Homo-oligomer: A and B are copies of this chain.
Amino acid sequence: MVTLKEIARRSGVSTATASYVLNNGPKAVLPETRERVLKVMNELGYRPNAAARGLKKKRTHTLGVVFPHVWAEPLDNEYYSQVWKGIVKAASARKQVLMIFAGMTWAEIVENVPSFLDGRCDGFLFLAPPANSPLIQDILSRESRVVLVGSQGMDLIVSAVDSDNIAGGKLAADYLISLGHKKIGMIMGEVTSTSALTRRNGFKNAIISANLDLDESLLWTFEYDETAQIPMVRRIVGACRERGMTALFCGHDSIAELILREAPSFGLRIPEDLSVVGFDDLSTTAHTNPPLTTIRQSMVEIGAAAVQILLDLIDEVTTEPTEKLFDVYLIERESTAAPSKAHQP
Protein backbone atom coordinates (compact mmCIF):
# COMPACT_ATOMS: atom_id res chain seq x y z
CA MET A 1 0.00 0.00 0.00
CA VAL A 2 1.33 3.38 -0.96
CA THR A 3 1.07 5.99 1.77
CA LEU A 4 1.24 9.75 1.91
CA LYS A 5 4.58 9.46 3.65
CA GLU A 6 5.93 7.53 0.69
CA ILE A 7 4.59 10.16 -1.70
CA ALA A 8 6.22 12.86 0.38
CA ARG A 9 9.54 11.05 0.45
CA ARG A 10 9.57 10.50 -3.31
CA SER A 11 8.58 14.08 -4.04
CA GLY A 12 11.12 15.43 -1.60
CA VAL A 13 8.56 17.23 0.54
CA SER A 14 7.09 16.71 3.99
CA THR A 15 3.92 14.76 4.62
CA ALA A 16 2.27 18.04 5.55
CA THR A 17 2.91 19.48 2.12
CA ALA A 18 1.79 16.29 0.47
CA SER A 19 -1.38 16.47 2.52
CA TYR A 20 -1.91 20.09 1.50
CA VAL A 21 -1.82 19.21 -2.15
CA LEU A 22 -4.08 16.23 -1.57
CA ASN A 23 -6.70 18.39 0.12
CA ASN A 24 -6.10 21.66 -1.65
CA GLY A 25 -5.32 23.22 1.65
CA PRO A 26 -5.59 24.35 4.34
CA LYS A 27 -2.23 25.88 3.40
CA ALA A 28 -1.21 27.04 -0.04
CA VAL A 29 1.46 25.13 -1.95
CA LEU A 30 3.72 26.44 -4.69
CA PRO A 31 2.35 25.37 -8.10
CA GLU A 32 5.57 23.62 -9.08
CA THR A 33 5.72 21.71 -5.79
CA ARG A 34 2.12 20.82 -6.24
CA GLU A 35 2.67 19.48 -9.75
CA ARG A 36 5.61 17.43 -8.60
CA VAL A 37 3.63 15.82 -5.81
CA LEU A 38 0.60 15.17 -8.01
CA LYS A 39 2.83 13.52 -10.56
CA VAL A 40 4.22 11.11 -8.01
CA MET A 41 0.74 10.37 -6.73
CA ASN A 42 -0.42 9.56 -10.21
CA GLU A 43 2.55 7.39 -11.00
CA LEU A 44 2.10 5.31 -7.91
CA GLY A 45 -1.69 5.22 -8.18
CA TYR A 46 -1.91 6.65 -4.72
CA ARG A 47 -5.24 6.34 -2.87
CA PRO A 48 -5.59 8.10 0.45
CA ASN A 49 -6.60 5.57 3.06
CA ALA A 50 -10.23 5.93 4.00
CA ALA A 51 -9.84 4.59 7.50
CA ALA A 52 -7.07 7.01 8.38
CA ARG A 53 -9.02 9.92 6.98
CA GLY A 54 -12.18 8.86 8.73
CA LEU A 55 -10.35 8.48 11.98
CA LYS A 56 -8.92 11.94 11.74
CA LYS A 57 -11.83 13.89 10.30
CA LYS A 58 -14.76 12.03 11.81
CA ARG A 59 -16.45 12.15 8.48
CA THR A 60 -16.68 9.21 6.12
CA HIS A 61 -18.92 10.54 3.37
CA THR A 62 -20.82 7.34 3.73
CA LEU A 63 -24.56 7.10 4.24
CA GLY A 64 -26.09 4.02 5.80
CA VAL A 65 -29.32 2.77 4.28
CA VAL A 66 -31.36 0.37 6.38
CA PHE A 67 -33.86 -1.88 4.60
CA PRO A 68 -36.57 -3.56 6.63
CA HIS A 69 -35.96 -6.74 4.67
CA VAL A 70 -34.45 -7.74 1.40
CA TRP A 71 -36.57 -5.86 -1.03
CA ALA A 72 -36.78 -8.66 -3.50
CA GLU A 73 -40.06 -9.50 -1.79
CA PRO A 74 -42.62 -9.26 -4.56
CA LEU A 75 -45.04 -6.90 -2.90
CA ASP A 76 -42.68 -4.02 -2.44
CA ASN A 77 -40.08 -4.76 -5.00
CA GLU A 78 -40.53 -1.88 -7.37
CA TYR A 79 -41.29 0.63 -4.65
CA TYR A 80 -37.95 -0.01 -3.00
CA SER A 81 -36.15 -0.15 -6.30
CA GLN A 82 -37.47 3.24 -7.27
CA VAL A 83 -36.79 4.88 -3.94
CA TRP A 84 -33.36 3.35 -4.03
CA LYS A 85 -32.82 4.79 -7.48
CA GLY A 86 -33.50 8.26 -6.10
CA ILE A 87 -31.15 7.64 -3.23
CA VAL A 88 -28.33 6.52 -5.49
CA LYS A 89 -28.84 9.44 -7.81
CA ALA A 90 -28.77 12.04 -5.07
CA ALA A 91 -25.96 10.39 -3.16
CA SER A 92 -23.67 10.04 -6.13
CA ALA A 93 -24.38 13.60 -7.21
CA ARG A 94 -23.10 14.66 -3.82
CA LYS A 95 -20.18 12.25 -3.77
CA GLN A 96 -21.50 10.11 -0.99
CA VAL A 97 -21.05 6.38 -0.76
CA LEU A 98 -23.89 4.15 0.34
CA MET A 99 -23.63 1.39 2.85
CA ILE A 100 -26.45 -1.09 3.02
CA PHE A 101 -27.83 -2.81 6.05
CA ALA A 102 -30.34 -5.45 5.23
CA GLY A 103 -31.34 -8.66 6.87
CA MET A 104 -34.01 -11.15 6.28
CA THR A 105 -36.19 -10.00 9.14
CA TRP A 106 -36.72 -6.89 11.13
CA ALA A 107 -35.48 -8.77 14.18
CA GLU A 108 -32.14 -9.28 12.49
CA ILE A 109 -31.95 -5.61 11.69
CA VAL A 110 -32.77 -4.66 15.25
CA GLU A 111 -30.01 -6.92 16.43
CA ASN A 112 -27.38 -5.59 14.10
CA VAL A 113 -27.96 -1.97 13.33
CA PRO A 114 -26.82 -0.56 16.66
CA SER A 115 -23.42 -2.07 16.06
CA PHE A 116 -23.07 0.16 13.02
CA LEU A 117 -23.21 3.30 15.07
CA ASP A 118 -19.47 3.11 15.10
CA GLY A 119 -18.53 5.94 12.85
CA ARG A 120 -18.55 4.13 9.57
CA CYS A 121 -21.52 6.15 8.38
CA ASP A 122 -22.20 9.83 8.79
CA GLY A 123 -25.93 9.23 9.01
CA PHE A 124 -28.74 6.81 8.30
CA LEU A 125 -31.74 6.40 6.06
CA PHE A 126 -34.40 3.97 7.27
CA LEU A 127 -36.62 2.64 4.53
CA ALA A 128 -40.20 2.00 5.62
CA PRO A 129 -39.50 0.89 9.15
CA PRO A 130 -42.41 -0.73 10.99
CA ALA A 131 -44.56 1.74 12.87
CA ASN A 132 -43.40 2.54 16.38
CA SER A 133 -40.41 0.28 16.29
CA PRO A 134 -38.37 0.54 19.49
CA LEU A 135 -35.25 0.23 17.35
CA ILE A 136 -35.81 3.65 15.89
CA GLN A 137 -36.24 5.07 19.35
CA ASP A 138 -33.05 3.40 20.47
CA ILE A 139 -31.08 4.59 17.47
CA LEU A 140 -32.36 8.12 17.84
CA SER A 141 -31.15 8.29 21.39
CA ARG A 142 -27.61 7.77 20.18
CA GLU A 143 -27.66 9.18 16.68
CA SER A 144 -29.70 12.09 15.47
CA ARG A 145 -28.62 12.09 11.85
CA VAL A 146 -31.43 9.85 10.75
CA VAL A 147 -34.14 10.19 8.12
CA LEU A 148 -37.14 7.90 7.83
CA VAL A 149 -38.42 7.11 4.35
CA GLY A 150 -42.00 5.97 3.84
CA SER A 151 -42.99 6.44 7.45
CA GLN A 152 -44.84 9.66 7.99
CA GLY A 153 -47.02 10.16 10.98
CA MET A 154 -45.04 8.46 13.68
CA ASP A 155 -44.88 10.31 16.93
CA LEU A 156 -41.12 10.46 16.95
CA ILE A 157 -39.08 13.58 16.65
CA VAL A 158 -37.21 12.63 13.54
CA SER A 159 -36.92 13.70 9.93
CA ALA A 160 -39.10 11.82 7.49
CA VAL A 161 -39.99 11.75 3.81
CA ASP A 162 -43.05 10.09 2.41
CA SER A 163 -45.96 10.40 0.02
CA ASP A 164 -48.96 12.18 1.39
CA ASN A 165 -50.76 8.94 2.08
CA ILE A 166 -53.70 10.56 3.81
CA ALA A 167 -54.33 12.56 0.67
CA GLY A 168 -53.76 9.43 -1.40
CA GLY A 169 -56.37 7.41 0.43
CA LYS A 170 -58.76 10.30 0.15
CA LEU A 171 -58.03 10.78 -3.54
CA ALA A 172 -58.84 7.15 -4.29
CA ALA A 173 -62.04 7.19 -2.28
CA ASP A 174 -63.23 10.55 -3.60
CA TYR A 175 -62.67 9.40 -7.15
CA LEU A 176 -64.69 6.23 -6.63
CA ILE A 177 -67.41 8.23 -4.91
CA SER A 178 -67.48 10.69 -7.80
CA LEU A 179 -68.10 7.76 -10.14
CA GLY A 180 -71.22 6.98 -8.14
CA HIS A 181 -70.04 4.14 -5.94
CA LYS A 182 -71.68 3.78 -2.53
CA LYS A 183 -70.29 0.52 -1.20
CA ILE A 184 -66.53 0.78 -1.36
CA GLY A 185 -64.10 -1.69 0.20
CA MET A 186 -60.40 -1.50 0.90
CA ILE A 187 -57.52 -3.93 1.29
CA MET A 188 -54.59 -2.46 3.16
CA GLY A 189 -50.99 -3.67 3.16
CA GLU A 190 -49.14 -4.64 6.32
CA VAL A 191 -50.63 -3.31 9.53
CA THR A 192 -47.13 -2.60 10.76
CA SER A 193 -46.58 -0.08 8.02
CA THR A 194 -47.43 3.52 8.75
CA SER A 195 -48.15 4.26 5.13
CA ALA A 196 -50.69 1.45 4.96
CA LEU A 197 -52.41 2.87 8.02
CA THR A 198 -52.45 6.44 6.80
CA ARG A 199 -53.77 5.44 3.41
CA ARG A 200 -56.62 3.74 5.19
CA ASN A 201 -57.23 6.74 7.37
CA GLY A 202 -57.46 8.99 4.33
CA PHE A 203 -59.83 6.51 2.77
CA LYS A 204 -62.06 6.32 5.83
CA ASN A 205 -62.16 10.09 6.19
CA ALA A 206 -63.32 10.48 2.63
CA ILE A 207 -66.08 7.89 3.06
CA ILE A 208 -67.29 9.56 6.20
CA SER A 209 -67.07 13.07 4.74
CA ALA A 210 -69.25 11.92 1.86
CA ASN A 211 -71.84 10.65 4.33
CA LEU A 212 -71.49 7.15 3.04
CA ASP A 213 -71.79 4.06 5.14
CA LEU A 214 -68.36 3.00 6.42
CA ASP A 215 -68.81 -0.75 6.47
CA GLU A 216 -66.01 -2.20 8.61
CA SER A 217 -66.58 -5.64 7.13
CA LEU A 218 -65.37 -4.22 3.83
CA LEU A 219 -61.96 -3.36 5.28
CA TRP A 220 -59.41 -6.14 4.84
CA THR A 221 -55.74 -6.63 5.47
CA PHE A 222 -53.69 -8.24 2.75
CA GLU A 223 -52.53 -11.78 3.39
CA TYR A 224 -48.87 -12.15 2.49
CA ASP A 225 -49.04 -15.90 2.84
CA GLU A 226 -49.55 -17.17 -0.70
CA THR A 227 -51.86 -19.98 0.30
CA ALA A 228 -54.17 -17.46 1.94
CA GLN A 229 -54.57 -15.30 -1.13
CA ILE A 230 -57.20 -17.23 -3.06
CA PRO A 231 -59.45 -17.49 0.01
CA MET A 232 -58.98 -13.76 0.45
CA VAL A 233 -60.04 -13.10 -3.13
CA ARG A 234 -63.00 -15.39 -2.51
CA ARG A 235 -64.08 -13.27 0.46
CA ILE A 236 -63.83 -10.14 -1.65
CA VAL A 237 -65.93 -11.68 -4.39
CA GLY A 238 -68.40 -12.68 -1.71
CA ALA A 239 -68.61 -9.09 -0.52
CA CYS A 240 -69.53 -7.98 -4.03
CA ARG A 241 -72.28 -10.57 -4.31
CA GLU A 242 -73.67 -10.47 -0.82
CA ARG A 243 -73.08 -6.95 0.37
CA GLY A 244 -73.31 -5.06 -2.87
CA MET A 245 -69.71 -3.82 -2.91
CA THR A 246 -69.00 -2.21 -6.28
CA ALA A 247 -65.54 -0.71 -5.78
CA LEU A 248 -62.31 -1.65 -4.07
CA PHE A 249 -59.27 0.41 -3.14
CA CYS A 250 -56.05 -1.59 -2.80
CA GLY A 251 -53.20 -0.21 -0.69
CA HIS A 252 -50.65 -1.53 -3.19
CA ASP A 253 -50.75 -2.08 -6.92
CA SER A 254 -49.49 -5.59 -6.41
CA ILE A 255 -52.65 -6.38 -4.43
CA ALA A 256 -54.77 -4.86 -7.16
CA GLU A 257 -52.93 -6.96 -9.73
CA LEU A 258 -53.81 -10.09 -7.82
CA ILE A 259 -57.48 -9.13 -7.81
CA LEU A 260 -57.44 -8.33 -11.53
CA ARG A 261 -55.80 -11.64 -12.26
CA GLU A 262 -58.12 -13.79 -10.15
CA ALA A 263 -61.42 -12.02 -10.65
CA PRO A 264 -62.29 -13.61 -14.03
CA SER A 265 -62.16 -17.12 -12.61
CA PHE A 266 -64.86 -16.09 -10.14
CA GLY A 267 -66.97 -14.63 -12.90
CA LEU A 268 -66.32 -11.12 -11.66
CA ARG A 269 -65.82 -8.57 -14.41
CA ILE A 270 -63.65 -5.52 -13.91
CA PRO A 271 -64.73 -2.76 -14.02
CA GLU A 272 -68.33 -3.80 -14.79
CA ASP A 273 -68.89 -5.66 -11.52
CA LEU A 274 -66.10 -4.15 -9.47
CA SER A 275 -64.00 -1.01 -9.90
CA VAL A 276 -60.45 -1.40 -8.65
CA VAL A 277 -57.99 1.35 -7.69
CA GLY A 278 -54.40 0.58 -6.79
CA PHE A 279 -51.62 2.58 -5.20
CA ASP A 280 -48.03 3.13 -6.41
CA ASP A 281 -48.33 3.17 -10.19
CA LEU A 282 -45.87 0.37 -10.75
CA SER A 283 -44.56 0.03 -14.29
CA THR A 284 -46.54 -3.17 -14.81
CA THR A 285 -49.92 -1.64 -14.05
CA ALA A 286 -50.30 0.05 -17.40
CA HIS A 287 -50.31 -3.43 -18.92
CA THR A 288 -52.65 -5.29 -16.63
CA ASN A 289 -55.95 -6.46 -18.01
CA PRO A 290 -57.69 -4.08 -17.79
CA PRO A 291 -55.06 -1.38 -17.25
CA LEU A 292 -55.18 -0.32 -13.61
CA THR A 293 -56.43 2.97 -12.27
CA THR A 294 -54.05 3.89 -9.50
CA ILE A 295 -52.48 6.55 -7.31
CA ARG A 296 -49.00 7.51 -8.43
CA GLN A 297 -46.29 8.19 -5.90
CA SER A 298 -43.06 10.03 -6.68
CA MET A 299 -40.79 7.27 -5.48
CA VAL A 300 -37.56 8.45 -7.04
CA GLU A 301 -38.08 11.96 -5.70
CA ILE A 302 -38.76 10.61 -2.25
CA GLY A 303 -35.44 8.81 -2.21
CA ALA A 304 -33.56 11.84 -3.46
CA ALA A 305 -35.23 14.15 -0.94
CA ALA A 306 -34.31 11.83 1.89
CA VAL A 307 -30.65 12.04 0.96
CA GLN A 308 -30.87 15.80 0.72
CA ILE A 309 -32.40 16.11 4.17
CA LEU A 310 -29.91 13.72 5.70
CA LEU A 311 -26.95 15.60 4.26
CA ASP A 312 -28.34 18.87 5.58
CA LEU A 313 -28.54 17.26 8.98
CA ILE A 314 -24.98 15.98 8.73
CA ASP A 315 -23.64 19.29 7.52
CA GLU A 316 -25.66 21.00 10.19
CA VAL A 317 -27.38 23.15 7.60
CA THR A 318 -30.49 22.24 9.54
CA THR A 319 -30.72 21.02 13.08
CA GLU A 320 -34.47 20.62 13.41
CA PRO A 321 -36.08 17.43 12.13
CA THR A 322 -37.88 18.05 8.84
CA GLU A 323 -40.90 16.22 7.49
CA LYS A 324 -41.54 16.29 3.77
CA LEU A 325 -44.66 14.87 2.14
CA PHE A 326 -44.94 14.43 -1.61
CA ASP A 327 -48.14 14.92 -3.54
CA VAL A 328 -49.76 11.88 -5.13
CA TYR A 329 -51.69 11.77 -8.40
CA LEU A 330 -54.66 9.88 -9.72
CA ILE A 331 -53.83 7.90 -12.85
CA GLU A 332 -57.11 7.05 -14.47
CA ARG A 333 -57.12 3.87 -16.54
CA GLU A 334 -59.68 1.20 -17.28
CA SER A 335 -60.19 -0.74 -14.08
CA THR A 336 -62.73 1.77 -12.83
CA ALA A 337 -66.16 2.79 -14.08
CA ALA A 338 -69.50 3.92 -12.75
CA PRO A 339 -71.33 1.12 -10.96
CA SER A 340 -73.50 -0.88 -13.36
CA LYS A 341 -77.28 -0.67 -13.35
CA ALA A 342 -77.69 -4.00 -11.57
CA HIS A 343 -76.15 -2.48 -8.50
CA GLN A 344 -77.98 0.81 -8.64
CA PRO A 345 -80.83 1.25 -6.17
Contacts and interface: CB of A to CB of B under 8 A. Distances in A.
Which of A89, A100, A101 has the most chain B CB atoms inside 10 A of its CB?
A100
The copy count of this chain in the complex is 2
A82 B71 CA distance: 9
A261 B47 CA distance: 51
Listed residue (A52, A283, A284) with the most chain B CB atoms within 10 angstroms of its CB:
A52
B100 A85 contact: no
Interface stretch (A10-18, A115-123, A207-215): A115-123
A97 B89 contact: no
A85 B48 CA distance: 32
Nearest to A60: B51
B47 A55 contact: no
A contact residues, range: 35 or more
Contact of A100 (B1, B99, B118): B99
A261 B289 CA distance: 11
Contact of A117 (B47, B60, B74, B84): B47
Interface in A68-124: 70-72, 74, 77-78, 81-82, 84-85, 88-89, 92, 97-104, 108, 112, 114-120
A160 to B, nearest CB: 22
Given A49-B55, A54-B51, A97 B97 contact: no
Contacts of A92: 102-104, 108, 112
Contact of A55 (B55, B71, B81): B55
A50 interface: yes
A98 B65 CA distance: 10
Given A60-B51, A102-B92, A118-B48, A72 B84 contact: yes
Contacts of A62: 99, 120
Nearest to A92: B103
25 contacts: A1-B119, A49-B118, A50-B54, A50-B120, A51-B55, A52-B55, A54-B54, A55-B55, A62-B99, A70-B84, A72-B84, A74-B283, A77-B77, A77-B81, A88-B102, A88-B103, A89-B104, A92-B103, A92-B104, A97-B99, A97-B101, A97-B116, A98-B100, A284-B284, A289-B289
